[in-house]
Amino acid sequence: MDEINATGQLKINLDGTEAVLGKDDLLIEAAQTEGYVSDSDRGITVVLDTNLTEDLIEEGYVREIISKIQTMRKDAGFEVMDHIRVFQSGNDKIKAIMQRNAEEIKSEVLAVELVFDKVRGFEKDWNLNGESVTFGVEKM
C-alpha cells in the first residue's frame, strides 16, 4: 500500500519478469482481524483491541456491583450521605470479586462494612452478567 500510495503503481517480479500493476488493477479492501475493530475516515484508520482481559472483566463486575448497590440505596429511601452496611449472599464468584475490590466498592457506595454469606435490611436478587446474587443494604 505504501508503494501504491507513493508511486501510483506496484512493481512485482514474477519468475524474472517485472510486472507493473496500477491501483485499478488491484482489489484493495480492509480485512478485520478477530478481536480488533477498525474504522477509517479521511485517510486515517483507527484500530481498537476488543479482547477482554481478566482485569477488564473484573472491573466490569465491580462497576455493576456498585451500580446495583446505588440503585438499592435509592429504592430503600436512603439519603445521599447515609452510610450503609452491604450484605452479599448466594454467589462465590461475586463474593471473591467484592473481597478483592472491597475498598473501592465501600468508597463508592459509602459502605462502612461488607458482610458476606448473609443478607439483612433492604434485599434484592440480581443477575450480574449471568451470575445470580442477592444483595442487602441497611442504613448505619
As to burial, measured by CB atoms within 10 angstroms (0-12 exposed, 13-18 middle, 19+ buried), residue 87 is buried
pLDDT in tens, 15-74: 888 888 887 777 777 666 778 888 888 878 888 888 889 999 999 999 999 999 999 999
Q: Where are the domains of the chain?
A: 2-49, 54-139
CATH of 54-139, one of 1.10.4160, 3.90.190, 3.30.2320, 3.40.50: 3.30.2320
**CA–CA gap between residue 105 and residue 100 (Å, rounded):** 10
Decide the pairing of beta strands 111-116 and 84-89: parallel
**Tens-digit pLDDT profile for residues 91-122:** 999 999 999 999 999 999 999 999 999 999 99
**Per-residue pLDDT at 14:** 82
Identify the residue whose cell numbers are 463474593.
95
| CA geometry: angle 112, 118, 122, nearest 5 deg | 65
